[in-house]
Amino acid sequence: MTVDTMAAIRQTFFQECEEQLSEMEVGLLAMDEGNADSETVNAVFRAVHSIKGGAGAFKLTALVQFAHTFETALDLVRGGKLAPTPEVMKPMLRAADVLSDLVEASRDGREIDESSYASIAEDVKALTVIEGEAEEEEVIDFQPAVIDIGGPEVAPEPEGPKLHEYRIKFTPRPELYANANEASLIIRELSRLGQIEVNCDTSGVLDLDAVDPAGAYLSWDIKLNSEVPIESVREIFEFVDGEADINIETDGQPEVSAADIASLLALALGGNSTSETPAETAEAAPEMAKEPANEAASASSALTETPKNVAVQAQTTIRVEFDRVDRLINLVGELVINQAMLSQRVVEANFAGSSSVVIGLEELEQLTREIQESVMAIRAQPVKPLFQRMSRIVREVADATGKEVRLKTDGEATEVDKTVVERLAEPLTHMIRNAVDHGIETPEERVAAGKPPEGTVRLSAAHRSGRIVIEISDDGAGINRAKVRASAIKKGLISPDAQLSDSDIDNLLFLPGFSTAATISAISGRGVGMDVVKRSIQALGGRISISSRPGQGSTFSMSLPLTLAVLDGMAVSVAGQTLVVPLTAIVETLKPKNGELHGLGAEGRVMAIRNTFVPLIDVGTQLGFRDTPADPERSVAILVETGGGARNALLVDSIQDQRQVVIKSLETNYGTVAGIAAATILGDGRVALILDVDALVTGTFEDHLGESLRFGT
């Protein structure tokens, strides 16, 4: 196997780990909520087990060891020996966090100091001893636990163990290796069940030059003498289910599937007891007959097993590199532009409205729009993984602050563009930290206020009029407005006699450099405040608002575009060029009058808008499109608001219209351009630039402009 394939397999393993971890988290949270049905527990167990198995193949010892400890505890829950009480679930959830840390560290090739999670490992280990279940071997071992697979075998086997002879034909398919499984590991596990005799069938091996390195050519004939029931043997192959052809014969009899047993049972109940019934079924059948009602249910569940598997397989997904999707999106964008151009030409050619050309074109337009929507949907992802990460943040912060907090999520299935999901993680983390650290009171304070000691942070997502709205609310004390006000005055952010409404005061939180925490805590007082959150939300083309009721808690509400591929903008003309101003930044547009403009300093100009003066920025000269400033009276001013709430007026020649534009990166083939956020392609096929209002206003690109901008400083 070449290094490349190993790397690819490794990558697949970690991709799958991510899925397993997410499944595990979902299951654990459900268990924590009290929904510890066997399917959920099994799912969690399987996830941890799979991670352990994969990690073993890559010799990730630390990961394997921890997963093993975790798995042992889970196995007890699965076997009903350990009840998933809150006391049990707490270390379990922490263990889940450690497991994901370990996976992440292994992926990045880092090592995590064992002492950092030793206490959690101990806690989890302690769970396994509660029941007096002596852990005889601490060696890493795949324990062949006998589990109830939901089949008819309800009662434990009444008689002593007896020796079975299994004949197993094991033929891995290429998928098995592609999924980072290893045939030898399976065989090694089998060898632990009893006496084993393995013959490798090499008849499938081709000549060396015909061999596909990723193929599977070997198969094994395995003879196993063991006391364990067939389920335990099959369990070993559970891992590679669907990735290998497995045929197990017991004591000379072909393997009996659950469905077969069910049909046999049906026969047996019908009075036609068959002599060929294998030993196990014969034992089970009389047991079942005593409880006909129960049996019917099991039989039907066994019967539905096969169609259920089929249904799962029908919902298959494929992994596609994002580059490919992006290329497709680009092409569709081009298609949209092309179609717009074609429409334009047809209009110019003066075809009759009923002509087949016009009708055909309308159909094309509809199709294009549908294609565009479908393609955008490929990039859409549910916010679920993002929300799951937040539950961890809540746990950590609650632990660190000695608070009791529960995270409730809503609308996890809401879909939004992948990039939005990714870039939301940081602001959301920050806000969740704030909600727990500043919002929720300590249990004592809560009890004193007549609330339950456990606080609740609610995280919800929903689609609303073409945008996604994410809300974070807590049932804490709400914003202490007097304190906020005092702090703002102390920091010189507002004047002591300023008249502020409640919502004005709440919005002070978004001012740069504002922090109300009396002592800077390690959790939320790390020098970045809500202003940073607001900026990152705005950078995503979103808006954030806040509402709070004393004693009842606060709600932060964010409204974001569903995709970063398109943007609502205002197309304006500046020095013969078309530029796009993002609509989220625009407050209003004005026609400057002579008396409203005032000079300030050598080149600075301000504009009076309802008795406040805002700096006037001539976009044409600022971008170097012309040397002499435009005549304001023949121009249009666009009032924009930037991060931190600063207002500025942008002077442009004229406004063309408002439109949705497809965002194209300038960085891909060129680089960043000061004052320009991105580019787009207009209906006539030409490129137009999208303004970066923040950079334009703050003049962060002064250096590029040299002397011309040095006024006023």
Partner 1 sequence: MENVSSSANGVNREFVSFHVGTQEFCIDIMGVREIRGWTQATPLPHSPTYVRGVINLRGAVLPIVDLAMRFGIGLTEPTARSVIIVVQVHQQVIGLLVDAVSDILTVAEAAMQPTPDIASELAKTFVKGVYAVDGRMISIVALDSVLPVSSKAAA
* Interacting residues with partner 1 (CB under 8 A): 330-331, 333-334, 337, 577, 623-625, 664-676, 679, 681, 685-689, 701, 704-705
Q: Tell the smallest beta-carbon distance from residue 261 to partner 1 (Å).
A: 59
What is the rounded CA–CA span in Å between residue 626 and residue 615? 19
Q: How far is the CB of 375 from partner 1 (least distance, A)?
A: 12
Instruction: Give 215 or 624: the residue with its C-beta nearer to partner 1.
Output: 624
**48 or 691: CB nearest partner 1:** 691
For partner 1, the closer CB: 185 or 682: 682
Nearer Cβ to partner 1, position 178 or 328?
328
DSSP letter (8 states) at residue 619: H
CB 582 within 8 A of CB 661: no
* DSSP assigned state of 36: -
CB of 687 to partner 1, least distance (A): 4
Q: Which residues contact 418 (CB under 8 A, 6 or more apart)?
A: 322, 379, 380, 381
Token look-up 């006024």 returns 711
In the bound state with partner 1, the residue whose beta carbon lies nearer, of 330 and 480, is 330
Which of 148, 82, 93 lies closest to 120, judged by CA? 93
Residue nearer to partner 1 on the CB measure, 334 or 444: 334
CA distance 460 to 411: 6
Residue 94 near residue 123, CB atoms below 8 Å = yes
Closest distance to partner 1 from the beta carbon of 668 (Å): 7
8 Å CB contact between 53 and 16: no
Q: Minimum distance between the CB of residue 680 and partner 1, rounded to whole angstroms?
A: 9
The pairing of strands 253-254 and 244-250 is: antiparallel
**Chain position carrying tokens 């079942």:** 288
> Given the complex with partner 1, which of 172 and 569 has the nearer CB atom?
569
Select 475 or 692, whichever has its Cβ closest to partner 1: 692
For residue 528, the minimal CB distance to partner 1 (Å) is 24
Residue with tokens 């089929």: 310
Residue matched to tokens 């569940």 = 301
Q: Which two tokens stand for residue 93?
A: 């959830």
Minimum CB distance to partner 1, residue 416 (Å): 23
Pick 372 or 401: Cβ nearer partner 1? 372
User: Taking the complex as a whole, how short is the minimal distance between the CB of residue 688 and partner 1, in angstroms?
Assistant: 7
CA angle 348/351/354 to nearest 5° reads: 140
Residue type at position 16? E
What is d(CA 463, CA 562) in angstroms, rounded to the nearest whole number? Answer: 9
The length of the chain is 713
SS3 labels along 426-444: HHHHHHHHHHHHHHCCCHH
Contacts of 416 (CB under 8 A, 6+ apart): 380, 381, 383, 461, 468, 560, 562, 563
By C-beta, is 183 or 580 nearer to partner 1? Answer: 580
222 token code pair: 């395995």
Three-state SS sequence of 670-688: CCCECCEEEEEECCCCCEE
Cα separation, 688 vs 570, whole angstroms: 12
d(CA 194, CA 225): 6
Instruction: Find tokens 């351009």 and name the residue.
Output: 673
Between CA 267 and CA 261 the distance in angstroms is: 10
**Residue 590 beta carbon to partner 1: minimum distance, rounded to whole angstroms:** 24
Say how far apart CA 496 and CA 512 lie, in whole Å: 18
Q: How far is CA 13 from the centre of its chain?
A: 18
Residue 301 vs 672, nearer CB to partner 1:
672
CB atoms within 10 A of CB 150: 15
Residue (102 or 679) nearer to partner 1, CB:
679
3-state DSSP: the chain helix, strand, coil percent, rounded to 5?
Answer: 45, 20, 30
Residue 578 CB, shortest distance to partner 1, in Å, is: 8
Of the pair 243, 694, the CB lying nearest partner 1 is at 694
Least gap, CB of 567 to partner 1 (angstroms): 15
For residue 605, the minimal CB distance to partner 1 (Å) is 20
Candidates 514, 524, 452, 461; CA nearest to 486 is 514
Query: Minimal distance in Å, beta carbon 589 to partner 1?
Result: 22
In the complex, the smallest distance separating the C-beta of residue 703 from partner 1, rounded to whole angstroms, is 10
Nearer to partner 1, 599 or 624 (CB): 624
Cβ of residue 684: shortest distance to partner 1, in angstroms? 10
Q: Which is nearer to partner 1, 38 or 368 (CB)?
A: 368
Contact 470, 428 (CB under 8 A): yes
d(CA 220, CA 247): 11
